[in-house]
Amino acid sequence: MRIPKHIGIIPDGNRRWASQAGLEKKDGYVHGLTPGLELLRLARQAGVEEITYYGFTTDNCGRPQEQVRAFSAACVEAVKLIAAEPVSLLVIGNTEAAVFPKELLPYTGARADLNGGGIRVNFLVNYGWEWDLAGLDRPGSDRKQIYRELHSHDVSRVDLVIRWGGMRRLSGFLPVQSVYADFYVVDRLWPDFQPEDFHQALAWYQKQDITLGG
C-alpha cells in the first residue's frame, strides 16, 4: 500500500456541528479535540511520516471575539494532547500578534522530540498564507530556495489534504507545500469524525497517479 508521507488536515465544520446540536457556535471547537488525537494515532499506525493540522488562521480572527477565544483555547488543548504522545512537534504561525496563545510559545521556533519522538506533527496556529510568504527575498525560480525562505520552511511538501465538512477549497492552507497535493473531501463535520473517513481517504489516494505536475 502506498502511504502518503505527509497529510494535511483541515478540520472544518465545528460551528455547523454546534448549531445542529443546539449549542452556540463557539461551543463546537472543543468537540474536535478527541477526533484530532484519534486521527494522529491512526496516521502513526498507517506509517504516515508527517501530519499538519490547520488550527486557526489570521483570517479566522475576524470572527466574533467569543469564537476567537474558543478556537484559540481549543488549539491550546489540542497541542497539549498531542504533546503527550510520542511525536516530533512544531507549532507554526505568527507569534508576534497578540492573539497568539502564550501557552504555545514553547512549541514554536524549533521542532521538539517528545516522549521519545516520532511522527512529525505540525500545528498551524494564527497561520496566514500572507505571513508565510512575507519573507521571500527574491528567491528566483529555485524551488528549494523558495522553500527555505517560507516561514513554514520546516513543513514538507504535502501529498494529501483531507478536509472535513464538505467544502472543496484550501482556505489558505500552505499554498506552496500544497501545489501538487491530492485533495480529498469528507462531507461529515469534523466533530463527527469516524476512522473510516481516514481509511477511505487513504484508499482513494492509492488510485491517484502521482506526477508532481509532470
- Residues near its own copies, by CB under 8 A: 57-60, 62-63, 94, 128-131, 133-143, 146, 167-172, 175-176, 178-184, 208-209, 211-214
Tell the smallest beta-carbon distance from residue 122 to its own copies (Å). 18
Cα 150 to Cα 100, 110, 132, 153, distances in angstroms: 19, 15, 6, 5
Tell the smallest beta-carbon distance from residue 169 to its own copies (Å). 5
- Strand partners of residue 11: 164
- Among residues 56 and 82, whose Cβ is nearest to its own copies? 56
Picking from 55, 48, 57, the residue whose alpha carbon sits closest to that of residue 7 is 48
Tell the smallest beta-carbon distance from residue 166 to its own copies (Å). 10
- Among residues 66 and 180, whose Cβ is nearest to its own copies? 180
- Among residues 62 and 116, whose Cβ is nearest to its own copies? 62
- Give the integer Cα–Cα distance in Å for 113 and 126: 22
Tell the smallest beta-carbon distance from residue 136 to its own copies (Å). 4
Compute the C-alpha angle 191/109/212, nearest 5°. Answer: 65
Query: DSSP letter at 26?
Result: G
